[in-house]
Structure 1
């Protein structure tokens, strides 16, 4: 890990995303929950690691925890995130947790942009497959309904 003279980690390119405002759960996906157990709906998170390959439905993210506001590193389902985009991150707490949680080298801007595009596609596919064959509840607020995303 390279550091500047002040001792703060050097900024890196990461992929950032937001937690979905509402997600479906329960029998047939007929119930809705705001955000996830760890993050509020709309919370900004940074992707620390992507588990490519079969079952690429999990990624490691860094973000502020729902109840305490502390920075945490957690594996979560890709389908619960949206609006993936590359970001040049300067936040010291994010950089500390990034370097502590992974041994991979930092991405460059081009790779981060490609990863963001791929993750958005994968997340959309997993959201569409999640409740295939079941109707959305009345006045549904899930991400697909709010954004006009194609439904299963």
Structure 2
């Protein structure tokens, strides 16, 4: 088996804490599948749903093995272009993506767009007041 060629892929991190429950008054660390702060790679997006969900590749919270799972865009931040060499990531990426990013410029542009979408979704998903004290991504980013 030959090693896949390195590719430009959009990478992001999972928020350390996310709001949860009625009006977002509870806080949960990371997501069910990923630890907070984990690096994930964006393989594809559900465009028809306004990019609310992204198919991501990352190390699972419980096993540490590579997983491919749909993740809410609002649970990710720090989108950036990354040249990926890891064969396991590249194989999974090729299996699930339907529009591969071809250049660094495309990856940078898409990462900027996803960062804006994620921030909008975090701001609009839980419209109630933040719990006190709050450690959600938005509150930690401000302070």
TM exceeds 0.5? yes
Question: Which of 75, 90, 93 is equivalent to 2:88?
Answer: 93
For residue 84 of structure 1, give the secondary structure of its aligned residue in structure 2.
strand
* 1:52 lines up with 2:47 in the alignment: yes
Equivalent residue, structure 2, for 1:121? 116
Equivalent residue, structure 1, for 2:32? 37
Structure 2 unaligned spans of 5+: none
Equivalent residue, structure 1, for 2:140? 146
For residue 94 of structure 1, give the secondary structure of its aligned residue in structure 2.
helix
TM-superposed deviation, 1:118: 0.2
Distance across 1 between alignment mates of 2:8 and 2:38: 19
Equivalent residue, structure 2, for 1:136? 130
The structure-2 alpha-carbon separation of the partners of 1:114 and 1:106, relative to structure 1 and needing over 3 Å to count, comes to closer
Moved more, 48-57 or 79-88: 48-57
Q: Would you say the 8 A contact 2:44–2:98 is kept in 1?
A: no
TM-superposed deviation, 1:107: 2.4
Structure 1 unaligned spans of 5+: 1-5
TM-superposed deviation, 1:54: 4.0
Q: How does 1:11-90 map to 2 (within 5 A)?
A: 11-90=6-85
Moved more, 111-120 or 101-110: 101-110
Question: In angstroms, what is the RMSD of aligned CA positions?
Answer: 1.4
Moved more, 103-112 or 9-18: 103-112
Q: Which has the higher contact order (CA 8 A, sep 6+)?
A: 2
The number of residue pairs the alignment matches comes to 143
TM-superposed deviation, 1:100: 1.7
Q: Whose radius of gyration is greater, 1 or 2?
A: 1
